[in-house]
Amino acid sequence: MSDIEKYVKLVENVIRRAGLEPGECYDEEQECWQFVKGSADIFITLIEIGGEHYVNIASPVMAAPRHRREKFFQRLLEENALRIAVKFSLRDDVAWLEINREMKGLGFDEAMRALVRVAEVADELDQILVNEYGDDWDA
């Protein structure tokens, strides 16, 4: 079995433990697994860079607000300092919560904790941040 096959199997086992069917969650167009946990949309992507494989577990939390952006970005940086393992990033003007990890040496328990951590923190903070800064998803 190749490394990528092992990594896919590990991700699929984590998704099964979360109570979902990996084949039903896989989005071939985006080449990732996608599902909802609580109020959080979760995306799991395997990425190859320079012959090494990585996993990205991410959740879009909210669109960056048009007003009070500096305060919003400061809040995300402060959250980054308070949280373990997860970080906020910005992609296409959307704040994402994510964990990136090299697949080599990643075990089931650590992969499961990463998924749970992203889902729990995104579920905790998404509505709090929207209440504080507004909802510009459709702006």
Residues 93-108 have pLDDT tens digits of 999 999 999 999 999 9
What pLDDT score was predicted for residue 134? Answer: 87
The answer to whether 88 touches 74, Cβ cutoff 8 Å, is no
Residue 113, exposed/middle/buried by CB under 10 A (0-12, 13-18, 19+)? middle
Distance CA 112, CA 76 (A): 24
Q: At 91, list the tokens.
A: 């992609």
Quote the pLDDT of residue 97.
Answer: 98
Torsions phi, psi for 29 (to 5 deg): -65, -45
CA distance 115 to 113: 5
What does pTM read for this prediction?
Answer: 0.93
Domains, the chain, in order of start with CATH, read: 3-133 (3.30.1460.10)
139 beta partners:
none
Residues 17-62: pLDDT tens digits? 999 999 999 999 999 999 999 899 999 999 999 999 999 999 999 9
